[in-house]
């Protein structure tokens, strides 16, 4: 992702100052480099999970008499850090989704002023709702993890329990509706001719932007559902006796599920990077629209869309 962003940035700079970029260029770079943050936080979460499963988290307290912390406290701290790492990754992902929505609206700014304002305020209602509740969920889960549940009598732990049981459970159904509304919203925007002309398949690019959020939410639920002692496991115990040996030999624990989840996210980040490499062509000059608009705003009577082909040809000649 870092190499792709660097190559993309070099092509964008051209003969301009290398540190000067338009708003749309920054958004393109943000989308391409997005897996960089996600994989970093996934690796951090994987380290926390391994520290619990191998017992290495206890090494700083080994030999202390008495130890400064109990094993339960150390384990809870490591698992809380595991959660916060992944929630930070999700929060960054929601920021990227918001930026991508604004990029789509940016390409519609050749519309009349009143339509442009309506598109800016109302055209992304589904995306705004999805990003708001997604970020709220990420921050809420992060706060719950930070408060922890080391001491059940502690007021912070009680506040975390209230936030988890009373608030976050109510956000879930609303977030599901917001997700569907966001997908529908982007389908409508992605089908508009102005966006297609500049971004190509915007909906396909949007799938890459939100893929890691969906994977991180669904994958952990599936893995936890396969753990020994889960409702699915208990239902499997009611199967005929000939299956009981296989069922009772299944020892997939929640700790293994968390480790597998963090490990798989690293490979899934690589898949998103390769996907972005395919859909975000390095030969497309996303800055020509902004430069054509700048020429139009300087006083030219020619529409920015009419200037675009000539400007693209001029940039091609300069590059050669």
For 18-28, write each residue's pLDDT tens digit: 556 667 777 78
Task: Please tell me the predicted confidence (pLDDT) of residue 317.
Answer: 42
CB distance 97 to 209 below 8 Å = yes
E strand or H helix at 90? helix 71-106
Task: Please tell me the predicted confidence (pLDDT) of residue 180.
Answer: 83
d(CA 297, CA 232): 62
pLDDT at 172 over 50: yes
pLDDT at 273 over 50: yes
How far CA 280 is from CA of 8, 19, 199, 200, 316, in Å, comes to 9, 21, 9, 9, 19
Taking Cα atoms as reference points, which of 136, 107, 137, 101 lies closest to residue 122? 101
Query: Phi-psi category of 64—alpha, beta or left, where left has phi over 0 and alpha has psi -120 to 50?
Result: beta
How many angstroms separate the most distant Cα atoms in the chain?
83
d(CA 30, CA 99): 8
pLDDT at 236 over 60: yes
Torsion of Cα atoms, 198 then 203 then 208 then 211, to 10°: 160
pLDDT at 311 over 80: no
Task: Please tell me the predicted confidence (pLDDT) of residue 120.
Answer: 66
Task: Please tell me the predicted confidence (pLDDT) of residue 319.
Answer: 41
pLDDT at 134 over 90: no
Task: Please tell me the predicted confidence (pLDDT) of residue 36.
Answer: 86
Half-sphere exposure of 104 (CA within 13 A, CB side): 27
Task: Please tell me the predicted confidence (pLDDT) of residue 213.
Answer: 85
């Amino acid at each position: 992702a870092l190499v792709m962003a660097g190559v993309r940035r070099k092509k964008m700079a051209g003969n301009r100052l290398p540190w000067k970029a338009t708003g749309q260029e920054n958004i393109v770079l943000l989308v391409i480099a997005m897996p960089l943050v996600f994989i970093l936080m996934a690796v951090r979460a994987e380290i926390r999970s391994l520290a619990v499963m191998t017992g290495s988290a206890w090494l700083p307290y080994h030999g202390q008499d008495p130890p400064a912390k109990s094993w339960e406290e150390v384990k809870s701290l490591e698992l809380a850090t595991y959660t916060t790492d992944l929630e930070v990754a999700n929060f960054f992902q929601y920021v990227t989704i918001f930026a991508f929505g604004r990029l789509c609206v940016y390409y519609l700014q050749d519309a009349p002023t009143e339509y442009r304002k309506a598109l800016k305020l109302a055209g992304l209602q589904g995306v705004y709702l999805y990003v708001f509740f997604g970020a709220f969920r990420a921050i809420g889960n992060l706060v719950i993890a930070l408060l922890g549940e080391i001491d059940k009598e502690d007021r912070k732990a009680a506040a975390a329990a209230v936030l988890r049981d009373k608030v976050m459970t109510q956000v879930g159904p609303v977030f599901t509706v917001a997700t569907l509304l966001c997908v529908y919203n982007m389908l409508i925007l992605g089908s508009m001719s102005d966006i297609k002309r500049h971004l190509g398949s915007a909906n396909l690019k949007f799938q890459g932007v939100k893929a890691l959020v969906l994977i991180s939410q669904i994958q952990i639920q599936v893995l936890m559902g396969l753990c020994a002692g889960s409702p699915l496991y208990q239902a499997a115990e009611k199967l005929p006796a000939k299956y009981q040996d296989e069922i009772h030999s299944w020892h997939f624990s929640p700790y293994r599920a968390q480790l597998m989840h963090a490990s798989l996210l690293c490979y899934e980040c690589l898949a998103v990077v390769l996907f972005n490499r395919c859909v975000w062509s390095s030969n497309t000059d996303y800055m020509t629209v902004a430069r054509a608009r700048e020429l139009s705003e300087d006083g030219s009577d020619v529409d920015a869309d009419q200037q675009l082909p000539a400007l693209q040809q001029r940039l091609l000649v300069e590059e050669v």
